[in-house]
């Protein structure tokens, strides 16, 4: 059984994830996006897709998908402040230490600690996690957030996010309703700046598409 599946069969983990699902996080007076098991699984799917395109081996992919399940587990404390640091300290509670080496534990710890900003990428696991986390911006994650908030209302028009990595390009592609206002991304620049940062790390050009049309992102990057 993979480490990913072992975590999903861990009753303590599932109980913790369920409790996080039921917490209503509030940021700037607004209901925040989903941070529970649905988010973790979608991030894991993106991690898998990213690492496959980077020709990673099965163990690296398994570690990356496990990191996706655990990256926000520190939210069990009830707020988002320093949640990446908290997650990096408690994730081992949901893994049998006999299932990972000391080096793999450190890879997971670093990836989870760095997943919010990607300022200290040290492995493909960390790279995939920080990128995958920022790709999960579809309506699945935002449908229960504050609809009256202009940014959330607009982001709920994003129906699909795809990622393609080839020899010289990293391409993020959004499929949205026709009336989606790209300017709303100025209020959530990580959706652009994190893929751009990862593309630089990989020495690749970054292309951002909305409904198959390339978008000038220079204003957001500056």
Could you tell me the CATH number of the domain that includes residue 124? 1.10.3210.10
Concatenated DSSP letters for 116-181?
TT-SS--SHHHHHHHHHHHH--SHHHHTTS-TTSHHHHHHTTEEEEEEEE-SSEEEEEEEE-TT--
Per-residue pLDDT at 145: 60
Q: Which residue, of 136, 160, 182, is where some domain finishes?
A: 136
Q: Which residue, of 136, 166, 191, is where some domain finishes?
A: 136
Q: Is the pLDDT of residue 128 over 90?
A: yes
17, part of any domain = yes
> By mean pLDDT, which of 5-14, 49-58, 96-105, 184-193 is the weakest?
184-193
Range of the domain at 5: 1-136
Q: How many domains is the chain built from?
A: 2
Whether residue 40 is found in the same domain as residue 97 = yes
Whether residue 101 is found in the same domain as residue 8 = yes
Mean pLDDT of 35-41: 91
Rounded percentage of the chain residues whose pLDDT exceeds 90: 68
Cβ contacts of 210-217, under 8 Å, gap ≥ 24? 210/173, 210/174, 210/176, 210/180, 210/182, 211/174, 211/175, 211/176, 211/178, 212/173, 215/182, 217/192
Per-residue pLDDT at 28: 61
Whether residue 28 is found in the same domain as residue 127 = yes
Give the pairing of strands 205-210 and 26-27. unpaired
Per-residue pLDDT at 46: 98
Whether residue 153 is found in the same domain as residue 107 = no
Q: Is the pLDDT of residue 139 over 80?
A: no
Q: Which residue, of 85, 105, 136, is where some domain finishes?
A: 136
Whether residue 131 is found in the same domain as residue 153 = no
Mean pLDDT of 135-143: 77
Whether residue 131 is found in the same domain as residue 184 = no
Whether residue 154 is found in the same domain as residue 93 = no
User: In Å, what is the CA distance from 123 to each residue of 23, 56, 102, 202?
Assistant: 31, 11, 15, 12
Whether residue 20 is found in the same domain as residue 125 = yes
Whether residue 17 is found in the same domain as residue 89 = yes
């Amino acid at each position: 059984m993979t480490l990913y599946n072992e975590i999903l069969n861990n009753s303590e983990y599932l109980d913790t994830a369920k409790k996080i699902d039921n917490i209503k996080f509030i940021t700037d007076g607004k209901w925040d996006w989903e941070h529970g098991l649905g988010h973790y699984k979608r991030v894991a799917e993106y991690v898998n897709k990213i690492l496959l395109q980077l020709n990673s081996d099965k163990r690296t992919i398994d570690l990356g998908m496990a990191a996706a399940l655990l990256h926000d587990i520190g939210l069990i404390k009830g707020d988002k402040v320093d949640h990446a640091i908290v997650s990096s300290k408690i994730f081992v509670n949901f893994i049998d230490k006999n299932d990972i080496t000391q080096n793999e534990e450190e890879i997971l710890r670093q990836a989870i600690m760095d997943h919010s900003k990607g300022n200290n990428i040290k492995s493909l696991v960390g790279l995939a996690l920080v990128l995958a986390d920022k790709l999960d911006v579809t309506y699945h994650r935002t449908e229960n957030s504050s609809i009256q908030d202009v940014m959330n209302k607009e982001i709920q028009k994003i129906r699909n996010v795809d990622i393609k990595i080839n020899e010289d390009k990293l391409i993020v592609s959004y499929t949205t309703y026709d009336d989606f206002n790209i300017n709303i991304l100025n209020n959530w620049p990580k959706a652009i700046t994190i893929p751009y940062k990862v593309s630089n790390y990989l020495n690749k050009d970054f292309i951002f598409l909305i409904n198959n049309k390339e978008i000038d992102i220079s204003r957001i990057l500056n």
